[in-house]
Amino acid sequence: MTCLRARKIFLMSISTLYPADLTKNPLAGVAITVDGPTASGKGTLAKALARKYKLKFLDTGAVYRAVALSLIKQGLDPANTVEAERAAKDLVFDFRHKGDNVFGVWLGSEEVTDEIRSLEIGTAASVVAIQPAVRAALKDFQVNYAQKWKELVGVILDGRDTGARICPDAEIKLFLTADVAERGRRRWLEVSAKGETTPLEQVIDQVAARDARDKHNTIICDDAVVIDGTSLSQADVLAEAIRIIDAKLALLKAG
């Protein structure tokens, strides 16, 4: 039996055991992807959309950050391809709903939601994420997650290449971006609020360096709608995304 056929049978059995309730989950069968470069606001947007449309959520970047954190905790070098691949394959990861649409990340039995958001882990995650063996090891988890929850309640994923590689058949694809100076400023505000004292210029340089490392894995799909949030507030970006999604959902409903 091929892997693809086995996956389809698995998903069909899940749907049979736990059939989608369209009255509670009207977007069951719909996948939305939100991709973009670092600090573009894609995670904030995806979570807000998950709340509005009552979708299952996956932050794919958190998976790579969890691998990076696992390596750091073990005193291992994220650039060591052998150790990074092993950590990816051994990862015990969970993305849990904590209530009121607040999402948390667990590494084994430990919640690491805040820990994985440090600059150190972000930099290490970008080193881990460009390694083909790591991406291959984590891809199946992400694909299976997306397919399972799409059928049951609808799903939204955020990352860099979710529309291209994780959920290429997504009904709605968004790509959120902003210029590097603005993204650096936003990341600086984020880490400063947590007590880190890295200068703004250095954070902007770090964001630019991540862009360079991640350029081959940050993909704008031909069928994605691009939102440039450089001069937009979070509320404006959300409103534009909702406008796009509602229009596309109307087209889907119309057949």
Angle of CA points 155, 160, 163, to nearest 5°: 50
Domain boundaries, the chain: 26-254
Q: What phi and psi values does residue 149 have, to the nearest 5 degrees? A: -75, -25
Helix/strand number for the chain, H first, E second: 9, 8
- How large is the average pLDDT for residues 127-148? 90
Tens of pLDDT, residues 181-201: 999 999 999 889 988 889 999
The residue to which tokens 């849990």 are assigned:
96
**How confident is the model at residue 10, as a pLDDT?**
37
**19 pLDDT more than 70:** no
Task: Express each pLDDT in 209-243 by its tens digit.
Answer: 999 988 998 999 999 999 999 999 999 999 999 99
Superfamily of the domain at 26-254: P-loop containing nucleotide triphosphate hydrolases (3.40.50.300)
Q: In the beta sheet, which residues pair with residue 102?
A: 99
